[in-house]
Amino acid sequence: MPSLEQTCGRGGSGQLSVPRLRRDTPERAGLDPEEIRRLVSEVHDLTSGSRPWAAGAVLVVGRGPYVAVEEAVGWAVRYASYDPETDEGVELPPDSRVAMTADTPFDLASLTKLFTSVAAVQQIERGTLGIDARVGAYLPDFRAAARHGITVRQLLTHTSGLRPELPLYDCADDAERLELLRAEAPVGVPGTHRYSDLNLLLLQHVLERITGRTLDVLIHDGITRPLGMTATHFGPCPGAAATEDQRRPWAKSDRGMLRGVVHDENAWALGGVAGHAGLFSTGHDLAVFCRALLCGGAYGPARVLGPDFVELLLSPPGLGFAVDQPWFMGELAGRGAAGHTGFTGTSLVLDPATDTFLVLLANTVHPRRRTPDSRPRAAAGTRVARAVREL
């Protein structure tokens, strides 16, 4: 595996000097142009036809400091609504649709968890948060978590035993939502993996308690502002790709066609800022995020984590990040690749072994949610893995 010095460079002072991303050819990036051409063609196919995988998508692939492809396909807004009688979207007239562009922001859904995890590891690096400390040490009023000895590491690795979610969207007010979280006890065996949004919601409360700042401020000040990720923020985000005509019974609330407001019902009930969902971002900004992690936490003049703490974040089983998961990474999995998916159709994968990243953002829930299908993500990961050339 290339060293940080080889892939990111060092300045004359010996400090890491990370070149900013720039667009260049696949060949310059050390990627096979034919595999990349096929990948772009396959992503175009995903948005075509009467029942496409997604209404639109943005694809960004890079290696080292080079962005080899940045492609937008399909529609950011294609449908006015969903018709349950025909089980099809009601198409907008062509002149009322909104084309996808490379700068279109997406509702990141669970990719938000990655930013919450980085914010937590920043506090671990500073010594204000213990990775194996009990949540009850920071949140004694969260009675069930304290009683069952849930730890910070368990929240970050989804091994707390907490159930996947709670119906916070059905609560009358914030006080009732908070009381549900405080009283929620594990239903699974602590130490065994059970993916749960509640882990990141509890972690949000821990971070806000120990810092005295809200999660949106922590992520902005500690991650997105220093990295220059100006298009990444919690909603509202009026220009974002549309998501769902959100109505019961297929959804958990009746909100109509959503665009620029968070899709996740619990994040919406919490005001749009939540540890598990709520961020909006673009393909380019996520490429910067990937590049910073591949370069040991630095990008340009900024550093958001030290290399040892990036290694802690990405080492199996991963803190917030999933590691080596073929179901959405394809053949990129197997050498320490890390990433995540989001319910709205978002995903990213970074591969430290080859200094390569893949961002595939799609609005797969437009006009309504369906059974998630990550086969196109896995196929994209396989294309990128096969494109990598020896440097």
101 shares its domain with 8:
yes
137 shares its domain with 85:
no
For the segment 283-299, what is each residue's pLDDT rounded down to a tens digit? 999 999 999 999 999 99
103 shares its domain with 156:
no
For the segment 267-283, what is each residue's pLDDT rounded down to a tens digit? 999 999 999 999 999 99
192 shares its domain with 303:
no
97 shares its domain with 161:
no
90 shares its domain with 234:
yes
User: Given pLDDT bands bounded at 50, 70 and 90, which one contains residue 11?
Assistant: very low
Q: Which of 213, 246, 261 is the last residue of a domain?
A: 213
Domain limits at 181?
117-213
Can you tell me whether residue 90 is helix, strand or coil?
strand
11 shares its domain with 38:
yes
95 shares its domain with 244:
yes
Please choose, from the candidates 251, 317, 337, 353, the residue with its C-alpha nearest in 3D space to the C-alpha of residue 117.
317
Rounded Cα–Cα distance for residues 224 and 217 (Å): 10
pTM flag (> 0.85)? yes
222 shares its domain with 357:
yes
**Residue 16 above 60 pLDDT?**
no
Q: What is the mean pLDDT of residues 161-165?
A: 97
- Residue 250 CB contacts under 8 Å (≥ 6 apart), including other chains: 368, 369
Q: What is the mean pLDDT of residues 117-137?
A: 98
Q: Which of 183, 213, 243 is the last residue of a domain?
A: 213
Task: Give the CATH number, domain containing residue 331.
Answer: 3.40.710.10
**Residue 212 above 60 pLDDT?**
yes
The residue written with tokens 């991650």 in the block is 223
Task: Give the CATH number, domain containing residue 124.
Answer: 1.20.58.710
Rounded Cα–Cα distance for residues 226 and 203 (Å): 22
74 shares its domain with 106:
yes
154 with 160: CB under 8 angstroms?
yes
224 shares its domain with 373:
yes
Q: Which of 213, 241, 260 is the last residue of a domain?
A: 213
Q: What is the mean pLDDT of residues 323-333?
A: 98
Can you tell me whether residue 287 is helix, strand or coil?
helix
188 shares its domain with 236:
no
Rounded Cα–Cα distance for residues 366 and 274 (Å): 22
For the segment 24-77, what is each residue's pLDDT rounded down to a tens digit? 999 999 999 999 999 999 999 999 988 999 999 999 999 999 999 999 999 999
Number of domains in the chain: 2
